[in-house]
Amino acid sequence: MTFRVPLVLAFVVVALVPAGTAVASDQPTILYPEHQERTVSPGETIEIRMFVDSDGGFQDVGIAHLTMNASFETENLRATSVETASYFEQGDSTDVYNKTAVDNQDGVVVAEQWREPERNGSTGTARFATVTFKISEDAPETNTTITFENSTAQLVDDYDVLVYEHNATLRIDDDAGSQRNASAGKTADGDASEADSVGTETLLASLAGVVLFVGLAAVLRQRK
């Protein structure tokens, strides 16, 4: 009876956390869109702004390298550009490098950015990248999802940390064009305060994941 609750917690965490992730002293990195759901119209051009939230890892080191991988349905969307932003400018001054790629045939967008030299890495919340999409002129009224998966993050010294990713769903509606434009410029481009617009559900879900992750560490330490 004594170990029933810890065992249940351990199984839940193992189910949620993929193999080969960081130890409990390293905090998961969260990659999320400014808006998880948006309504768009056929022919419209939109920006998907992606943010990173990370507390780094053991001994207060930050992340020094991050690769964002996105996939989308080519029937209704076309990626026109991807640009990295200011996340890795946080922390000790250093040079920041980036590589980006867009493949509209396979429906893939990649944004990679790193610090060199790493110094102490970067932590906190800021915009990581902006992906611009063009909605097909003849797109039907439907939902389409931009999926973020298999993204990777490394702390200083190339140590991998867990990345929680959140998708962006677009609802294509013939009557949506004028409604979108009203809210497009409420925050300045590149301002870290944009992160405040993320939904409460996103932050609660991410917090729950972190709590479970730390819970597993406590169970493992008790068994040593």
Give me the amino acid identity at 189: D
pLDDT number for residue 26 = 73
44 pLDDT exceeds 90? yes
Spatial separation of the C-alpha atoms in residues 187 and 222, rounded to whole Å: 47
- Here the tokens at position 124 are 């906190």
Residue 216 lies in a domain: no
Assigned domain for 60 exists: yes
Q: Is residue 44 part of a domain?
A: yes
Tell me what pLDDT residue 178 has.
58
Q: For residue 212, what pLDDT is reported?
A: 54
| Model confidence at 67: pLDDT above 60 | yes
Helices 200-223, 4-16: crossing angle, 10 deg rounding: 130
For residue 128, being part of any structural domain is answered with yes
| The predicted structure's pLDDT at residue 60 | 87
Q: Give the confidence band of 33 by pLDDT, cuts at 50, 70, 90.
A: very high
pLDDT of 62 above 80 = yes
What percent of the residues of the chain are helix, what percent strand, and what percent coil, each to the nearest 5? 25, 40, 35
Give the whole-angstrom CA distance, residue 111 versus residue 108. Answer: 10
Number of folded domains that form the chain: 1
Q: Pseudo-torsion of CA 200, 111, 91, 152, nearest 10°?
A: 70
CA 31 to chain centre: 2
CATH number at residue 175: 2.60.40.680
Quote the domain boundaries for residue 153.
30-183
Rounded Cα distance, 125 and 128, in Å: 9
Phi first, then psi: give them for residue 151, nearest 5 degrees: -75, 150
Residue 16 lies in a domain: no
- Mean of per-residue pLDDT scores for the chain: 81
Nearest Cα residue to 161 out of 33, 15, 17, 9: 17
**Residue 42 corresponds to which amino acid?**
P
Of the two residues 13 and 49, the one the predictor is more confident about is 49
Burial class of residue 162, CB neighbours in 10 A (0-12, 13-18, 19+) = buried
The reported pLDDT for the residue numbered 25 is: 52
Residue 120 covered by a domain: yes
The answer to whether 164 touches 30, Cβ cutoff 8 Å, is yes
Q: In whole angstroms, what is the distance from residue 108 CA to residue 67 CA? A: 13
- Within a domain: residue 86? yes
Q: What is the pLDDT of residue 3?
A: 37
User: Rounded to an integer, what distance in angstroms lies between the CA atom of residue 89 and that of residue 13?
Assistant: 33
pTM of the model: 0.72
In a domain, 12, yes or no: no
